[in-house]
Amino acid sequence: MRKETYTGGFTFLELLLVLSMLSVLTLIILPLGDKWIQEASEDDALQAFVASIYNLQAYSMANKVYTRLEFKHSGTVYITSAPGKTEFSRTTLPKGMKVADTSRMKVVEFHATGNIVKSGTLTLETSSGLTEIRFQFQRGRMIIYE
């Protein structure tokens, strides 16, 4: 009877080396991935905030009512509403994003004509720094500075 031996495959040392290299790569990549996810989340939240402002202004013009967007809970939640009606929406900003304590604006209001009540600059704190949103007179556009 002849005995055959199998010589293919990996040794335990080779497997250990590959697993340790994968572990090191994972430890390097995970923090970078978390930062990327946080930035993407903040960008999405900023775009949603801008859309909320446009929707609120359009609602004011279409229904000829005064509307407002107000920040609550230390600047991490914004609420859109019209006086005498229930709130339209309540949105929570992602972790690490809020209205800066130094922001001159914490409320954005529109007349029934769609004109902004008070122009100014709203400053948001993000993980990558400050983002300023400048609201111009009347039905002016928002200008975003990052």
pLDDT in tens, 95-130: 889 999 988 889 999 999 888 988 888 999 988 889
Ordered by start, the domain boundaries in the chain are 39-145
Q: Is a pLDDT exceeding 90 seen at residue 135?
A: no
In CATH, which superfamily holds the domain spanning 39-145?
minor pseudopilin epsh domain (3.55.40.10)
Q: What does the pLDDT look like over 23-50, one tens digit per residue?
A: 998 888 887 778 888 888 999 999 999 8
* pTM listed for this prediction: 0.75
d(C-alpha 125, C-alpha 42), whole Å? 10
Classified as helix, coil or strand, 130 is: strand
Residue 142 scores a pLDDT above 70: no
